[in-house]
């Protein structure tokens, strides 16, 4: 009898446990009372406030859908998002960086094919190509970013400096800033600095947009002239103290602070940092410039752009229609304008009216001959890291040829 | 007294957990180390020993990470053991001040690694950080450094944080060992005319040696597996100068999506730790 009682108890407890689990999963998907909860994950902590407002508006317009937003630091997002999205529990709507992360997510089949969705008409077709693969639209780039130095317009005017159009002019400009007691370039070398400034530094040294594809195929090497020259120019900037002291120990927040305190003339990150600088120093007038590393007549490109913050629907989601509805909502003119103007980001959405001064003053960059962010065209994360590490090495004092050689050793490991 | 064979049934829950959480993952890692699995799709091919061959013949970063790991371990083992022993010697008595100071030194241990990493990253910041500011104030500007941005010293700067983080924990082990030494031995040494150094060498050290072995063994393994501080402070940079095996394996698996290769790195890593642990165990036995 005792054994029988134990068995009954085990069976009952097992059922209670399973029932509790199933109740938990119902609650997690938010399907009670016909209400659907969708999870939206991204890396833009600085956009939380405006997204909160947009989500409230979306929920008012769609009372049967609630949106749970989770924001991760961008570094963490790059390394963990794929794993979290894969089981479909989070990220019904998620964002992706272009390049290596998009390729990995595509390979893992995490993105629903959005081709033919009506909301795609709200976007500029030329600016959403980074989210395409084999003619299908798997993700929709939302932001248009210029990944080149931000400069203090007021300071430049005061010192009579015009953004130069060749390397000699760029060096002379840095020298003038230094002579006047300013740090010419606030360089966030501890995190994003190398990965950002490398794009504009190399764009004219290697104008071939396929250069990194060729590197990964073994058709070119980092020890070739284009990269050694880029490293030599980075070293020149470092050796002449055009970066702040101990730049490899400075994170992006620290570099933004140097810029906002008007201790530095330029910040080596991108247009996405302008809102943060303005938040700390609302009176500053900001502009964008790119170092031209060749003579004016040799220069092919004027700057760097990226279409990023690519919105995608999780192919494992149970709430795909609701997820698509949310993307459609973000692509509507009124909502996109709110997002753009409050975050200081240019968007890929058509016919937007930009109100913020920074967006207006940098809008002319959309007409310039800019090149798509070369680093995002490196498909291997290991090679990407080796390329950035070689920049850190020369800023740290290493000979450019030696740094290039060591980075090429890593590349060779992956070239068949 | 006659428990019979049924007593072995009590081992089953523990055995199941051990099989699930240690044996199965270990064998899985070994299995995948012979494949080119990317961790994202279900497809993979067997590549034999190719991953191991690549690690030993082509992978310059693995070698760099291994050397960094050894430097990190040596720094941490030497200084953590030394500081915890010295502090323990000063705080052996159960006076109010000693108990308070022991609690104070133990405090960093209860913090989360990420909090410690953030605190120290800001302290080490070359422009805004407290350390360089204090050195400036003390007219010791020549000592200011780019603590975690200079590839030559970054690994030692993080090692110092690891020492700060865990010294209090090791101090407690030493205090327990020191408090177990019979007082009579010190009285005899005093009567024999031994000075402080002789008393330490002939009485304290031989009797605290088992505790020291535990501290050294634990610190060695702990420092070899250090991941959180480095990941949160430098992510292995600049230029791989703080890359250690644990961060390298993480990057290979979760950034490069080469799970097969990362598994091979993990197997080698496991063998290295096993050799170290085995050596420590031998040392422990020889002291017992």
Write out the H or E segment, with its range, that includes residue B266.
helix B259-287
Same domain, A245 and A385: yes
The whole-number pLDDT of residue A142 equals 97
What is the DSSP code string of B161-203? HHHHHHHHHHHHHHHHHHHTS-HHHHHHHHHTT--HHHHIIII
ipTM of this predicted structure: 0.81
Tokens of A377: 């065209």
The reply to whether B128 touches chain A by the CB within 8 Å rule is yes
Same domain, A117 and A187: no
Same domain, A333 and A356: yes
The reply to whether B256 touches chain A by the CB within 8 Å rule is yes
Contacting A residues, span 137-196, partner chain B, CB-CB under 8 Å: 189-190
Which residues neighbour A274 within 8 Å (Cβ) at sequence distance 6 or greater? Answer: A150, A286, A344, A358, A362
What is the rounded distance in angstroms from the CA atom of residue B255 to the CA atom of residue B240?
Answer: 15
The reply to whether B41 touches chain A by the CB within 8 Å rule is yes
Largest CA distance in chain A: 97
Q: Which chain A residue is nearest to residue B248, measuring alpha carbons?
A: A382
pLDDT at A402 over 80: yes
What is the rounded distance in angstroms from the CA atom of residue B89 to the CA atom of residue B91?
Answer: 6
Closest by Cβ to B150, choosing from A83, A381, A396? A396
Asked if residue A153 lies in contact with residue A287, where contact means CB atoms within 8 angstroms, the answer is yes
The reply to whether B238 touches chain A by the CB within 8 Å rule is yes
The reply to whether A408 touches chain B by the CB within 8 Å rule is no
Contact B60 A80 (CB under 8 A): no
Tokens of A122: 């709200």
Beta strands in A55-92 (DSSP E): 65-71
Mean pLDDT of the residues in chain A: 90
Phi-psi region of B253 (alpha: psi -120 to 50; beta: other; left: phi over 0): alpha
What is the rounded distance in angstroms from the CA atom of residue B207 to the CA atom of residue B205?
Answer: 5
Tokens of A351: 């016919």
The domain limits of chain B are: 59-287
Whether residue A16 lies inside any domain: the answer is no
Same domain, A223 and A165: yes
Backbone phi and psi for residue A185, each to the nearest 5 degrees, phi listed first: -130, 120
Query: What is the DSSP code (8-state) at residue B193?
Result: T
Q: What is the mean pLDDT of residues A50-66?
A: 96
pLDDT at A102 over 70: yes
The whole-number pLDDT of residue B286 equals 67
The whole-number pLDDT of residue A28 equals 40
Order the strands of the A183-186 sheet from edge to edge. Answer: A183-186, A264-267, A150-152, A286-288
Tokens of A177: 């800033």
Asked if residue B245 lies in contact with residue B66, where contact means CB atoms within 8 angstroms, the answer is yes
Contact B254 A83 (CB under 8 A): yes
C-alpha radius of gyration, chain A, whole number: 24
pLDDT band at B126 (very low <50, low <70, confident <90, very high): confident
Which residues span the domain enclosing A195?
Answer: 149-289+378-414
- Residue A385 with chain B: CB contacts under 8 Å: 251, 255
What is the rounded distance in angstroms from the CA atom of residue B288 to the CA atom of residue B281?
Answer: 11
What is the rounded distance in angstroms from the CA atom of residue B227 to the CA atom of residue A283?
Answer: 42
The whole-number pLDDT of residue A68 equals 96
Closest by Cβ to A246, choosing from B60, B146, B234? B146
| Mutation choice for A interface testing from B62, B230, B238 by most A CBs within 10 A | B238
Same domain, A348 and A385: no
Same domain, A40 and A90: yes
Whether residue A349 lies inside any domain: the answer is yes
Contact B127 A244 (CB under 8 A): yes
Contact B255 A78 (CB under 8 A): yes
**How many Cα neighbours within 13 Å face the side chain of B137?**
6
How far does the CA of residue A96 sit from the closest CA of chain B (Å)? 14
What is the rounded distance in angstroms from the CA atom of residue A29 to the CA atom of residue A401?
Answer: 55
Q: Which chain B residue is nearest to residue A244, measuring alpha carbons?
A: B127
What is the rounded distance in angstroms from the CA atom of residue B286 to the CA atom of residue B288?
Answer: 6
Measured between alpha carbons, how far is residue A228 from residues A212, A237, A394, A402 in Å?
14, 14, 10, 9
CA quadruple A95, A100, A102, A108: dihedral positive or negative? negative
Same domain, A281 and A394: yes
Same domain, A315 and A267: no
Asked if residue B96 lies in contact with residue B104, where contact means CB atoms within 8 angstroms, the answer is no
How far does the CA of residue A108 sit from the closest CA of chain B (Å)? 5
pLDDT at A33 over 70: no
Contact A189 B254 (CB under 8 A): no
Whether residue A4 lies inside any domain: the answer is no
Same domain, A218 and A330: no
* Tens-place pLDDT, residues A345-383: 899 999 899 888 778 888 899 889 999 999 999 988 899
Whether residue A155 lies inside any domain: the answer is yes
The whole-number pLDDT of residue B2 equals 59
pLDDT band at B94 (very low <50, low <70, confident <90, very high): confident
How far does the CA of residue B150 sit from the closest CA of chain A (Å)? 7
Same domain, A140 and A75: yes
Q: Residue A67 belongs to a domain with what CATH number? A: 3.40.190.10
Strand A303-313 and strand A183-186: pairing? unpaired
Whether residue A6 lies inside any domain: the answer is no
The neighbour count for residue A250, using CB atoms within 10 Å, is 27
What is the rounded distance in angstroms from the CA atom of residue A384 to the CA atom of residue B251?
Answer: 12
What is the rounded distance in angstroms from the CA atom of residue A296 to the CA atom of residue A310?
Answer: 34
Q: What is the mean pLDDT of residues A173-189?
A: 97
Closest by Cβ to A392, choosing from B148, B237, B254? B237
With vertex at residue A180, the alpha carbon angle to CA A177 and CA A185, rounded to the nearest 5 degrees, is 30
The reply to whether B62 touches chain A by the CB within 8 Å rule is no
What is the DSSP code string of A320-362? HHHHHHHHHHHHSHHHHHHHHHHHT-EESBTT----SHHHHHH
Whether residue A124 lies inside any domain: the answer is yes
The whole-number pLDDT of residue A143 equals 95
Contact A410 B125 (CB under 8 A): no
What is the rounded distance in angstroms from the CA atom of residue A14 to the CA atom of residue A17?
Answer: 5
Same domain, A164 and A283: yes
Give me the CATH code for the B59-287 domain, please: 1.10.3720.10
Contact B150 A406 (CB under 8 A): no
The whole-number pLDDT of residue A12 equals 54
pLDDT band at A331 (very low <50, low <70, confident <90, very high): very high
Closest by Cβ to A248, choosing from B58, B61, B150? B150
Verify cis geometry, omega within 30 degrees of 0, for the bond prior to B238.
yes
What is the rounded distance in angstroms from the CA atom of residue A141 to the CA atom of residue A139?
Answer: 6
Backbone phi and psi for residue A69, each to the nearest 5 degrees, phi listed first: -95, 135
Asked if residue B65 lies in contact with residue B248, where contact means CB atoms within 8 angstroms, the answer is yes
pLDDT band at A25 (very low <50, low <70, confident <90, very high): very low
- Residue B238 with chain A: CB contacts under 8 Å: 189-190, 248, 389, 392-393, 395-396
Backbone phi and psi for residue A243, each to the nearest 5 degrees, phi listed first: -95, 160
Same domain, A200 and A329: no
Domain count for chain A, please give it: 2
Q: Which residue has the higher pLDDT, A190 or B283?
A: A190
Whether residue A263 lies inside any domain: the answer is yes
């Amino acid at each position: 009898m005792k054994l029988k009682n134990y068995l009954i108890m085990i069976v009952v407890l097992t059922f209670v446990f399973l029932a509790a689990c199933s109740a938990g999963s119902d609650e997690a998907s938010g399907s009670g009372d016909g209400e659907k909860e969708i999870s939206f994950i991204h890396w833009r902590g600085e956009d939380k406030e405006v997204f909160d407002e947009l989500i409230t508006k979306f929920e008012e317009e769609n009372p049967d859908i609630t949106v749970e937003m989770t924001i991760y630091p961008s570094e963490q997002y790059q390394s963990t998002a794929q794993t979290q999205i894969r089981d479909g529990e989070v990220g019904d709507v998620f964002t992706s960086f272009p390049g290596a992360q998009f390729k990995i997510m595509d390979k893992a089949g995490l993105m629903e094919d959005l081709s033919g969705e009506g909301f795609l008409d709200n976007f500029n077709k030329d600016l959403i190509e980074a989210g395409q693969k084999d003619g299908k639209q798997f993700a929709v780039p939302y932001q248009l970013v210029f990944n080149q130095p931000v400069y203090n317009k007021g300071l430049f005017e005061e010192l009579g400096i015009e953004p130069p159009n060749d390397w000699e002019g760029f060096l002379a400009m840095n020298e003038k800033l230094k002579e006047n007691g300013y740090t010419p370039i606030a360089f966030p070398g501890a995190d994003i600095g190398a990965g950002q400034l490398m794009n504009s530094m190399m764009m004219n040294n290697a104008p071939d947009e396929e250069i990194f594809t060729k590197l990964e195929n073994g058709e070119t090497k980092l020890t070739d002239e284009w990269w050694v020259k880029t490293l030599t120019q980075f070293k020149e900037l470092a050796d002449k103290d055009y970066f702040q002291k101990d730049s490899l120990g400075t994170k992006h927040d620290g570099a933004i602070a140097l810029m906002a305190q008007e201790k530095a003339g330029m910040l080596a990150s991108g247009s996405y940092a302008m809102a943060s600088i303005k938040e700390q120093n609302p009176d500053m007038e900001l502009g964008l410039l790119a170092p031209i590393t060749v003579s004016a007549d040799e220069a092919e490109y004027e700057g760097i752009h990226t279409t990023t913050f690519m919105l995608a629907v999780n192919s494992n989601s149970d709430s795909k229609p609701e997820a698509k509805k949310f993307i459609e909502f973000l692509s509507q003119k009124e909502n996109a304008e709110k997002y753009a103007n409050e975050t200081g980001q240019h968007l890929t959405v058509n016919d937007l009216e930009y109100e913020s001064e920074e967006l207006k003053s940098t809008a002319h960059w959309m007409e310039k001959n800019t090149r798509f962010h070369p680093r995002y065209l490196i498909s291997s994360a290991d090679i990407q890291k080796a390329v950035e590490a070689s920049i850190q090495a020369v800023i740290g004092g290493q000979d450019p040829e030696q740094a290039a050689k060591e980075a090429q050793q890593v590349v060779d490991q992956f070239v068949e | 007294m006659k428990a019979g064979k049924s007593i072995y049934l009590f081992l089953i829950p523990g055995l199941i957990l051990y099989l699930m959480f240690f044996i199965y993952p270990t064998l899985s890692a070994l299995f995948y180390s012979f494949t080119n699995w990317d961790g994202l799709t279900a497809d993979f091919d067997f590549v034999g020993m190719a991953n191991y061959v690549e690690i030993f013949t082509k992978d310059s970063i693995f070698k760099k990470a291994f050397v960094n790991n050894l430097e990190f371990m040596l720094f941490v083992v030497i200084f953590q053991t030394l500081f915890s022993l010295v502090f323990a010697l000063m705080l052996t008595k159960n006076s109010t001040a000693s108990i308070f100071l022991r609690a104070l030194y133990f405090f960093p241990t209860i913090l989360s690694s990420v909090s410690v990493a953030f605190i120290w990253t800001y302290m080490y910041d070359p422009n805004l950080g407290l350390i360089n500011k204090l050195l400036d104030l003390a007219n010791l500007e020549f000592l200011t450094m780019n603590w975690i941005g200079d590839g030559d010293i970054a690994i030692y700067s993080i090692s110092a944080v690891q020492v700060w983080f865990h010294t209090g924990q090791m101090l407690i082990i030493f205090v327990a060992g020191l408090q177990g030494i019979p007082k009579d031995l010190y009285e005899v040494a005093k009567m024999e005319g031994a000075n402080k150094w002789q008393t330490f060498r002939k009485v304290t050290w031989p009797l605290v040696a088992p505790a020291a072995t535990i501290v050294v063994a634990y610190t060695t393994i702990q420092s070899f597996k250090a991941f959180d501080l480095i990941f949160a402070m430098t992510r292995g940079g600049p230029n791989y100068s703080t890359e250690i095996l644990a961060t390298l394996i993480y990057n290979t698996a979760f950034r490069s999506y080469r799970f097969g290769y990362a598994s091979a790195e993990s197997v080698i890593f496991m063998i290295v730790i096993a050799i170290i642990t085995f050596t420590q165990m031998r040392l422990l036995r020889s002291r017992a």
